[in-house]
Amino acid sequence: MKQKKNTLLIVDDENTNLKVLTHILGGDYIIYTAVNGINAIEKAKELLPDLILLDILMPEMDGYQTLSAIKQTDEIRKTPVIFITGLDSKEDEEKGLALDAADYITKPFSASVVKLRVRNQIQIINQLRMIEHLSMIDELTHIPNRRSFDNRISLEWKQAVREHLPISLLMMDLDKFKIVNDTYGHQQGDVVLKTLAGVFIRALRRPADFAARWGGEEFVVLLPNTRLEGALEVAENIRAAVEKTQIPCTCEPDKYSEISMTISIGVNSMVPGKDDKIDTFILNADKALYMAKDAGRNKVIPSP
């Protein structure tokens, strides 16, 4: 599959410079343009480019002021910025670096230098994104991990508070998983975890729904904008799907069979207010999970 092109926002009040840089870089990147600092910030917030090329000498709001504003804007403060400038004194360079400019491209433009400096920054961006992506994925099951869940629930919680929306959480634990490890070995336990992680992902119907491995044999499902009734329905679908799933088991050499598992699920749902805490929300879902365990396992129990 063809890799998606990275995006650049080029900011310059001179139309000639915009055309030249677009000609140099347009074959390798998706190019957006802006003609002043205010326009640049608005477009950057809307388009979220991978890299910004920013002219220093612009009327009303120069490049230094624009970069300072970018660094104070949550959506784009981590976007790297390369200054494009005719200024080449040591003081100018130090000022830009003090504001966290990633690099400099000087005028008149050398096509090869422009391409190299932009390529270097884009490579760094892509490598950092790959590292971040890998750190958010559980190595065994290849679904999001606890860290990824923490980030996601923080975002969804803020939106739920801001817009007075319901949010639901499923805390899920595989029943008697230790017996699988003790009976068939840890490799078979890994097969169980990987197989059922796929069941959880397939059970989710909306793009915003989110499943993650909490740790060990515990998993979580986050359901934004979902009330208790809807969350219980999703939980019951997952419980039934796990119960019906036949998991491959190479229990002995040259023998092949299948094993089945069940799962216990605790469900919590609320419309959070500004004084409510995520930790309490998760704790109550966890308490419901242990109620499901105490009730005989293979059950879905809502938080009281």
Q: Which residues are catalytic?
A: 217
For residue 187, the number of C-alpha atoms closer than 13 Å in the C-beta half-sphere is 5
Alpha carbon distance 284, 276 (integer Å): 12
- Element holding 122 (H helix, E strand): helix 111-135
Distance CA 23, CA 31 (A): 10
Q: What are phi and psi of 248, to 5 degrees?
A: -55, 140
Assign 119 to helix, strand or coil.
helix
> Do residues 190 and 239 make contact, with C-beta atoms less than 8 angstroms apart?
no
Q: Which of 75, 85, 68, 8 shows the shortest CA–CA distance to 42?
A: 75
Whole-angstrom Cα distance, residue 282 to residue 268? 8
Cβ atoms within 10 Å, residue 304: 8
CA angle 239, 267, 199 (to 5 degrees): 30
**Buried (b) or exposed (e) across 259-287, using 16+ Cβ within 10 A?**
bebebbbbbbbbebeeeeebeebbebbbe
Of 81, 96, 16, 2, residue with least CA distance to 49: 81
Report the DSSP beta bridge partners of residue 220: 171, 212
Cα–Cα distance measured from residue 254 to residue 256, given in angstroms and rounded to the nearest whole number? 7
What residue ranges in the chain does DSSP mark as E strands? 7-11, 30-34, 51-55, 81-85, 103-106, 167-174, 210-215, 218-224, 247-249, 257-259, 263-270, 300-302
